[in-house]
Structure 1
Amino acid sequence: MTTPTIIACALWLVTLWRLPSIRHSHKQRSLALTLAALAAAMTLEVPGIKAAINDHVGITGVPPLLKHLLGVTSAAYLLDFVIAVVRPQGLARRTRITAIGTTLPLMLAFYALANWLPGGAVRVGEGKRAIYPVLYMAVFTLYIGVAMIVATWLFLGGVRHSRTTLGKAGLVLLGLGTMLGSLYALQRIGFVAVQLSTGAENRELEDLLSTNLKQLAILSIALGVCLPPLSVAVEYVASWNTLRRLQPLWRQLTEAAPYVVLSASIAKRRIPFRLERCVIEIEDAGLALREYVSEELYERARSFAQRSDVSGTEIDVVAEASWLSVAAQTAPTGVQLKGVTYPPLGVTGRGRASEIAWLRAVSRAYSSSPVVAEFSRQEDPSANVLAASSERPSRRGN
């Protein structure tokens, strides 16, 4: 199997993967059409398909023409995509429409007028119409070069705004692909300029550079396109794993305070939304259960954790899991403490990532820490209530 065949197959797979998203938004539609145009262009480089087209139409220059038209079309859609992502307010829309609306007809006109020499649709012709292949090449490479330079600037400029590592990597790969596309256009211009000025040709070197730059650019763009959706999948799996780890804590706390559970149902597949709701209900349950214990019990839990050789970084986690466990045991009595300072909630004042990490640690300690289990056994809820009633009143910490 030849390299063009492998690349064409890979591009068609990516295209089919992204095709369902074509109806979601303007940027997704532009991306899907970019991939489809690239896949079709690379298909025209497959030897068997190229030969079949030449045999069918009887003109050897048709596959290169179609390939170049598709290349310009894919560049236009890719530029449209990156603008939708990085500059949603738009960028030179009328200029871009005018450019593509001028480039495609000019390429067709210059191709039809050219007197081609053997070797494809980018060679200088001969006789009175020798200028038209040059004009054809100039229009093609000028559009590709400018579009790829602008796309490179936008892709690389948008890296710092991406939220995820995979998203940043995807934009870098897309920027690298468009940069290679710019180099592809520049080297084509360079070889034609040398041929026009000196008459010298080096077709082997030109073909080698053109093929490698083009294939590397397409592969880089295809990989860059795959990474942002992969980032979404990674986030989805991470949310599912976090939800799974928080559910034991959620189950214990909401059994003790069932009134904090929201009544609206959520589809099981909506993992991020279910995780958000789980976190909210755990926090609400914690606020409700604080009213069954005092800060003094929390301090006893910290002291117990320290005496039990819990590591310094885990003391606060084990202490919170301990008082939550005691509060969950006390809640069925219905006797809330009045006039006491309530334990602090460790989740308060944290950023999103820190909040999730804290709740996961508390859930793990609540479910599996022998220190939490032992402290809960030692703290008799009924004795707690009696002891708290004799405490000196202080500020209410709700």
Structure 2
Amino acid sequence: MTTSAIIAGVLWIVALWRLPSIRHSHKQRSLALTLVTLAAAMTFEVPQVKEAVDAVVGAGVRLAPLLKQLLGVTSAAYLLDFVIAVVRPQGLARRTRLIAGGVTLPLMLIFYALANWTPGGPVRLGEGRGVPFPVLYMTVFTLYIGIAMVVSTWLFLGGVRHSRTLLGKAGLGFLGLGTLLGSLYAFQRIAFVTIQLSSGTEYPDLANLLSTTLKQGTALSVAVGVCLPPLSVAAEYVAAWFNLRKLRPLWAQLTQAAPNVVLATSVRRSRVPFRLERCVIEIEDACLALREYVSADTYTSAQKFVLSQAAGVQCADAVVEACWLRAAVQSARDGGERLRGVEYPPLGVTGRDRASELSWLREVGRAYLLLPVVSEFARTEQSSNIQAQGDSEGSLT
């Protein structure tokens, strides 16, 4: 199997994978059509396909190169449309782009039909009255590809810093690399044609090697760049599932004592990121509700207890929060009254960014459920409250 066949196969796999997204949005439609047209263009690079086309229409018609280059221009247009939708959603020279595409394709067909092609040379110069038309054809094709790839490279690489995730940045980077290679492809075509026209010197083997290498590099870079952002989404989904699994036990404990914070609307199990967001909100609302059952004195007592019972414990602040939360849950379950006119314990989750917030809640949950010091503090507080209540009743009698 040739390299061109492997690359065409890879592109078709990626294109068919992304094809169902064609109905989702303008951006996704442009990306799907980019991949389909690019895969079709690279298919005409496969020797067996070119031979099959020549066998049907005749080698002298040279239909395979024409179809390949028309599809290449179409792919470049869709790719430029895609990157503008991603990086410049407000739009960029839409009318100019439509006019350029609407002029380029008909001119290519006209010049191709008028050209008197002869074999050899990067532009395959004609003879007689057909001499200028191969040059005009390659000029129109190369200029469109070159300008589209330069603009796309500028937009892709400029958008890297705005991406939220590492894989998203890498995806835009590979797409930018692909369009950069596409720009170099156009420039080298211009260079070889200029040399041939000005001096009559030809380098067909070198021109073909560079052209093929740059086209294949462009196709592979675009394919890799397209695949990385969905992997970023998958990674975020897995991370959300992991965090949700870690936080659910703490959520169950806290919402059992403060059931009024749980939202009534049900959520599908497949919507893991949304379920995680809801879980975090309900945990924080439960903490706000439960801290009304304890005072800042309980928080201070928890600090002293943790230091005395578990010296050198990791994440001591999270353990302290787990202690007073467990004491508050115990008080709420036992029918204790909410405290009024007192200072409540501070919430450790306040003022954190998203990653730190999740990390903090996981540490609090781990301490709440697993550390003996937390359950021991809750028992101590419960005994103290019972004793204080008994002393109060004794003094009244």
TM-score (norm 1): 0.94
Residue 28 (structure 2) pairs with residue 39 (structure 1):
no
Contact 2:349 2:357 in 1 (8 A): yes
Which one-letter code corresponds to 2:138 in the other structure? M
Divergent runs of 4+, >6 A? 387-390
Per-residue displacement from partner, 1:164-202 (whole Å, max 9, x unpaired)?
A: 111111111111110110000000110111111111111
Which range moved further: 374-383 or 248-257? 374-383
Tell me by how many angstroms 1:119 deviates. 4.4
Which residue of the partner structure matches residue 28 of structure 2?
28
Per-residue displacement from partner, 1:331-355 (whole Å, max 9, x unpaired)?
A: 1222222332211111112222221
Which residue of the partner structure matches residue 151 of structure 1?
152
Contact 2:150 2:179 in 1 (8 A): yes
Q: Distance in 2 between matches of 1:387 and 1:242?
A: 40
Contact 1:326 1:381 in 2 (8 A): no
Fraction of identical pairs, as percent: 67
Q: Distance in 2 between matches of 1:127 and 1:169?
A: 51
Contact 1:294 1:388 in 2 (8 A): no
Per-residue displacement from partner, 1:60-79 (whole Å, max 9, x unpaired)?
A: 51111100000000000000
Which residue of the partner structure matches residue 19 of structure 2?
19
Which residue of the partner structure matches residue 324 of structure 2?
323
Which residue of the partner structure matches residue 283 of structure 1?
284
Q: Call closer, same or farther: CA 1:179–1:270 in 2, change over 3 Å.
A: same
Q: Unpaired runs of 5+ in structure 2?
A: 393-397
Q: Call closer, same or farther: CA 1:383–1:99 in 2, change over 3 Å.
A: same
Which residue of the partner structure matches residue 375 of structure 1?
377
Matches for 1:199-238 after TM superposition, within 5 Å: 199-238=200-239
Q: Distance in 1 between matches of 2:109 and 2:273?
A: 50
Determine helix, strand or coil for the equivalent of 2:347. coil
Which one-letter code corresponds to 2:324 in the other structure? W
Q: Call closer, same or farther: CA 1:384–1:123 in 2, change over 3 Å.
A: farther
Q: Distance in 2 between matches of 1:57 and 1:389?
A: 104
Q: Call closer, same or farther: CA 1:388–1:167 in 2, change over 3 Å.
A: farther
Contact 1:253 1:328 in 2 (8 A): yes
Per-residue displacement from partner, 1:311-369 (whole Å, max 9, x unpaired)?
A: 47611100001111111111122222233221111111222222112111111111222
Contact 2:122 2:193 in 1 (8 A): no
Contact 2:115 2:133 in 1 (8 A): yes
Which residue of the partner structure matches residue 363 of structure 2?
361
Which residue of the partner structure matches residue 349 of structure 1?
351
Q: Call closer, same or farther: CA 1:248–1:385 in 2, change over 3 Å.
A: farther
Which residue of the partner structure matches residue 10 of structure 2?
10
Q: Distance in 2 between matches of 1:71 and 1:385?
A: 84
Tell me by how many angstroms 1:258 deviates. 1.1
The number of residues matched between the two structures is 390
Per-residue displacement from partner, 1:110-165 (whole Å, max 9, x unpaired)?
A: 11001111248832222221111111111100000000000011111111111111
Matches for 1:1-398 after TM superposition, within 5 Å: 1-60=1-60, 61-119=62-120, 122-311=123-312, 314-335=315-336, 336-380=338-382, 383=385, 386=388
Q: Call closer, same or farther: CA 1:100–1:385 in 2, change over 3 Å.
A: farther
Tell me by how many angstroms 1:297 deviates. 1.4
Tell me by how many angstroms 1:389 deviates. 10
Which one-letter code corresponds to 1:266 in the other structure? V
Q: Unpaired runs of 5+ in structure 1?
A: 391-398
What is the aligned-residue RMSD (CA, Å)?
1.8
Per-residue displacement from partner, 1:292-324 (whole Å, max 9, x unpaired)?
A: 112111112112222234547611100001111
Per-residue displacement from partner, 1:4-50 (whole Å, max 9, x unpaired)?
A: 11111111111111111111100100000000000001111111111
